[in-house]
Amino acid sequence: MKKIALSLTILLGALSASNATAFDGDVNAGKEKSATCAACHGPDGNAPVNIYPKIAGQHADYIYKQLTEFKLGMTSGGKEGRMNPVMSGMAMPLSDQDMKDLSAYFASLNMSEGATPKDVQETGAMLYKAGDAERGIPSCAACHGPRGNGSSLAKFPKISFQHPEYIKSQLEQFRDGTRNNDLNGVMQDIAKKLTDKDIETLSKYLGGLH
């Protein structure tokens, strides 16, 4: 819980930061560089295959963070950053400006809407908005917002409308430690307390949250 409280403190500080931190990627340049991304993420950033994330409308700062960490994962041999067999290889040849331009471009697009199945609407809303105090699970909305839009400056991703299958895979990776590039290990701490049913419910619920 201390780590969670720290992340919220960082979030509040980030939200009060000056506009001097505005992202400086070039949308048009990013569009020209995005051709190879379309194979997995689609030409409009809305991945047609649900195991890949939708990145259209995602915060530019968050996309940039992930790209830099995918590259670091490759250059460090998996000791640092975020290692992924596909994305680390794709990020390897990108310059810092390439990553900023791509991030700005995909952030400028619109994420396609999803839907929340009726059978998880109530339980999903309760877990997302209130957490589970008895099990030490905080509200997801505390960092990702009531509508799942996240925070650009704090680099908390937009998770609403995301493919449920992708959300599920990431929560499972945070839970087993194969993904560990979260701020202060907060997502790992939370995911370790989630059951398979919790993960399934949250993943489906987020697909239509708006």
pLDDT tens per residue, range 60-113: 999 999 999 999 999 999 999 999 999 999 999 999 999 999 999 999 999 999
Mean pLDDT of 38-50: 97
pLDDT above 80 for 139: yes
For the domain with range 22-107, which CATH number is right: 3.40.50.720, 3.20.110.10, 1.10.760.10, 1.10.10.10? 1.10.760.10
Q: Which residues pair with 132 in a beta bridge?
A: 137
206 contacts 167 by C-beta, under 8 angstroms: yes
In the chain, domain spans: 2-11+113-206, 22-107
Which pTM was predicted? 0.89
Looking at domain 2-11+113-206, which of 1.10.3720.10, 1.10.760.10, 3.20.20.70, 1.25.40.10 is its CATH number?
Answer: 1.10.760.10
> Residue 166 corresponds to which amino acid?
Y
Interacting residues of 107 by C-beta distance below 8 A, sequence separation 6+:
23, 57, 58, 59, 60, 63
Residues in the chain: 210
Q: Give the C-alpha separation, 107 to 65, whole Å.
A: 13
Q: Is the pLDDT score of 2 beyond 80?
A: no
User: Which pair of tokens denotes residue 66?
Assistant: 């992930």
Identical fold between 2-11+113-206 and 22-107 = yes
In this predicted structure, what is the pLDDT of residue 23? 73
pLDDT tens-place string over residues 174-183: 999 999 999 9
Note the pLDDT of residue 210.
76
